[in-house]
Amino acid sequence: MFHKEGHLIIIISFITVSFINIISFMLLGNVLLAKIIGGVTIIILVLILQFFRNPKRKTQVNDSLIISPVDGKVVVVENVYEKEYFKDNRIQISIFMSPLNVHVTRYAMSGIIKFSKYHPGKYLVAWHPKSSELNERTTVVIENENFGTILYRQIAGAIAKRIVNYAKVDSRVVQGEDAGFIKFGSRVDLFLPLDSKIKVKINQMVVGGIDTIAES
């Protein structure tokens, strides 16, 4: 199954690949160059299909847990000063997504959306220390009674050119549900209360909607 944000791109890619292959075989015939062109374009199409895949995940909703919002590798676990919304110290957990990962963003916990803002910006590589502050990004804050208030940030990378964010202020969201999509590249940062019990470590691979990031 493919994410709805990829439907138009998939259709355009399929038509383009088909057109290129038809033209190349008409002009070149059944020669090696035409076969190479066909092979390369089909590989590109397969990569696009893989990027927009949207596997169904069965999340066990638990208001005492923070689950991973995305698939990827944990690259940051540290105490930082969060200056956009909280303006105090938080535990930052950053998850890097390679082009091969599923790029669906899922809500890390259930609750009420208290803040949601889009920031235009640069396209530094996603692991750059300043990407969280300088790159195109969205900032979303969720609050529930058990865990309190958390912030997550979708961050575009060097390749990513569009972030899709479904979070609307004052809406109620459910843990594990679709929160958005980052097209081609990127990472997600989580900012959690200092008393959170962190359950992941650096370089750990996590699965969005399934793996536990922290406990209250």
Q: State the catalytic residue, choosing from 24, 131, 186, 196.
A: 186
> Mind spelling out the 3-state secondary structure of the chain?
CECHHHHHHHHHHHHHHHHHHHHHHHHHCCCHHHHHHHHHHHHHHHHHHHHCECCCCCCCCCCCEEECCCCEEEEEEEEEEECCCCCEEEEEEEEECCCCCCCEEECCCCEEEEEEEEECCECCCCCCCCHHHHECEEEEEEEECCCEEEEEEEECCCCCCEEEECCCCCCEECCCCEEEEEECCCEEEEEECCCCEECCCCCCEECCCCCEEEEC
Active site residue 196: no
Q: Which residues are catalytic?
A: 186
